[in-house]
Amino acid sequence: MRKNGLLAAGVLLLLLAAIACSKSSDSDIPDTSGNLQVFQMVPGDDQFDVVLDTTTIGSNLGYGDHTDGYQSFRAQKYSLWVYAAGNHATALLGGELNLRNGKQFSAFLTLDHTNTLRLLVTEDDNTPSPSGNARIRVVDLCDPYVRPEGSNNDQVLPLDFYLDYKDSTSVPMFRSVTYGAVRAAEIMPRSYELDINWQDSSKVLQTVPLQVDSGRVYTLITTGDVLGDTFKMWQFENK
């Protein structure tokens, strides 16, 4: 009996040691996180709720609303759902989102040219310019299409973005922009006029003022009809 007692005590000590080692190793596992912000860019009066798995990260988001900067979540795969505000019975849109460790993401809720609700997700590079310039990127959510004369089919209308456009000798900052995100460019910190033209054309469709400051990172979002009065450009500082 005594031998059995000693054996049991030895097993107990081994178990306690294993538990202690397990606790120590758990504490050594680093916490990982990714960051997400959401922009509601659907023109009109509709409002939406955005849910990450079971966590509501944006409520009653109207046109031009966004979450309060980036929100941090454990780095893993999630389901991202969009609902009509206050009605979570049936999702209007959803999909899988992989929030990777140390990365920042933006989700843009928008309508395409067919009036279909879409969710565009971008990975964001918010590294400030080491030279003190400003960094900007354009997210074109206009999704413009035109129907050439004599054709029965609509064709996508790429856009060129200029700073202080003068004439056909001007060089676009971003060329041939279509629906989606464009990588950031560095520009001198000051005031500009941002001109949006047809691709490779001197025809200016829209002109909007742009002020950028040293060391800041900006996202410019275009919405509405670039050929009409509903066009709008939104400027956000990435923080």
> Is it the case that residue 238 has pLDDT exceeding 70?
yes
Predicted confidence at residue 29, as pLDDT, reads 52
Tens of pLDDT along 133-191?
999 999 999 988 888 888 889 899 999 999 999 998 999 999 999 998 778 899 999 99
Domains and CATH numbers, the chain: 31-124 (2.60.40.2890), 127-239 (2.60.40.1120)
Q: Report the amino acid identity of residue 137.
A: R
Give residue 228's pLDDT band: very low, low, confident or very high (50, 70, 90): confident
> Is it the case that residue 26 has pLDDT exceeding 60?
no
Between CA 206 and CA 217 the distance in angstroms is 23
Could you tell me whether strands 134-140 and 217-223 are parallel, antiparallel, or unpaired per DSSP bridges? parallel
Give residue 70's pLDDT band: very low, low, confident or very high (50, 70, 90): very high
Which of helix, strand or coil describes residue 54? coil
Predicted confidence at residue 30, as pLDDT, reads 61
Which of helix, strand or coil describes residue 91? coil
- Sign of dihedral through CA atoms 103, 215, 57, 143? negative
Between CA 37 and CA 72 the distance in angstroms is 9
Give residue 116's pLDDT band: very low, low, confident or very high (50, 70, 90): very high
> Is it the case that residue 72 has pLDDT exceeding 50?
yes
Which of helix, strand or coil describes residue 170? coil
> Is it the case that residue 4 has pLDDT exceeding 70?
no
Predicted confidence at residue 233, as pLDDT, reads 95
Tens of pLDDT along 31-61?
899 999 999 999 999 999 999 999 999 999 9
What does pLDDT average to over the chain? 88
Q: Report the amino acid identity of residue 120.
A: L
Which one is predicted more confidently, 35 or 5?
35
Q: Which of 62, 63, 119 is nearest to 96 (CA)?
A: 119
